[in-house]
């Protein structure tokens, strides 16, 4: 196992990242915030939503396998009951770094997905948000990280 800080730093070294659960209606969707921040920070980021062809003015892919030339990492921003299927797709596509988003709301963390991913050799970050770390962080997310860490919603080790 590694510390959350190290796992986050490693995850954010990837340049091709898919974000699942990006919505056509962005209000209140953490996935959209993650997608836009990664895009704005120069990442080659891909929105994934099986029900959309375009989000945030960009093409949207219906699944991970549809992304041309694949990705190195995935942020899962869907409901937890969908996370296990996405984790299986990551394992099948040999995407070995996956972050299940969880901020102040219910988030995307699924114990079933976490267990499956780790059993298949994936690095699984099961909580927190990429916007709380490194080059994607802002003051608001850093404060949120401190509060959610105390509340146990950001893992200490992954």
Q: DSSP secondary structure string, 89-134?
A: HHHHTT--EEEE-BSSSS-S--HHHHHHHHHTT-EEEESB-GGGSG
pLDDT score for 153: 85
Residue 69 lies inside a defined structural domain of this protein: yes
59/56 Cα distance (integer angstroms): 8
Domain count, the chain: 1
Residue 129 lies inside a defined structural domain of this protein: yes
Residue 157 lies inside a defined structural domain of this protein: no
How confident is the prediction along the chain (158 residues), in pLDDT tens digits per residue? 899 999 999 999 999 999 999 998 867 678 999 999 999 999 999 999 999 999 999 999 999 999 999 999 999 999 999 999 999 999 999 999 999 999 887 799 999 999 999 999 999 999 999 999 998 899 999 999 999 999 888 999 99
pLDDT score for 120: 98
pLDDT score for 28: 65
Residue 49 lies inside a defined structural domain of this protein: yes
Which CATH number fits the domain that encloses residue 102? 3.40.50.720
Residue 135 lies inside a defined structural domain of this protein: yes
Q: Which of 157, 127, 129 is nearest to 143 (CA)?
A: 129
pLDDT score for 152: 86
Q: Which two tokens stand for residue 96?
A: 């070995």
Residue 137 lies inside a defined structural domain of this protein: yes
Residue 155 lies inside a defined structural domain of this protein: no
Domain extent at residue 49: 4-150
Flag whether the pTM goes above 0.85.
Answer: yes
pLDDT score for 54: 95
Cβ-contact 134, 108 below 8 angstroms: no
Residue 156 lies inside a defined structural domain of this protein: no
pLDDT score for 25: 82
**Alpha-carbon distances, residue 47 vs 5, 16, 62, 106, 152 (angstroms):** 25, 11, 9, 21, 28
């Amino acid at each position: 196992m590694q510390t959350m800080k190290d796992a986050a730093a490693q995850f954010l070294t990837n340049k091709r990242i898919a974000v699942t659960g990006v919505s056509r209606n962005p209000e209140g969707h953490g996935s959209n915030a993650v997608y836009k921040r990664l895009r704005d920070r120069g990442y080659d980021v891909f929105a994934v939503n099986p029900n959309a062809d375009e989000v945030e003015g960009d093409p949207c892919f219906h699944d991970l396998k549809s992304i041309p030339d694949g990705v190195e990492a995935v942020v899962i921003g869907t409901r937890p009951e969908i996370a296990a299927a996405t984790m299986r797709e990551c394992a099948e596509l040999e995407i070995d770094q996956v972050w299940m988003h969880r901020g102040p709301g219910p988030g995307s963390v699924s114990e079933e997905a976490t267990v499956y991913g780790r059993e298949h050799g994936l690095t699984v970050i099961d909580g927190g948000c990429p916007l709380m770390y490194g080059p994607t962080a802002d003051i608001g997310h850093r404060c949120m990280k401190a509060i959610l860490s105390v509340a146990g919603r950001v893992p200490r080790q992954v």
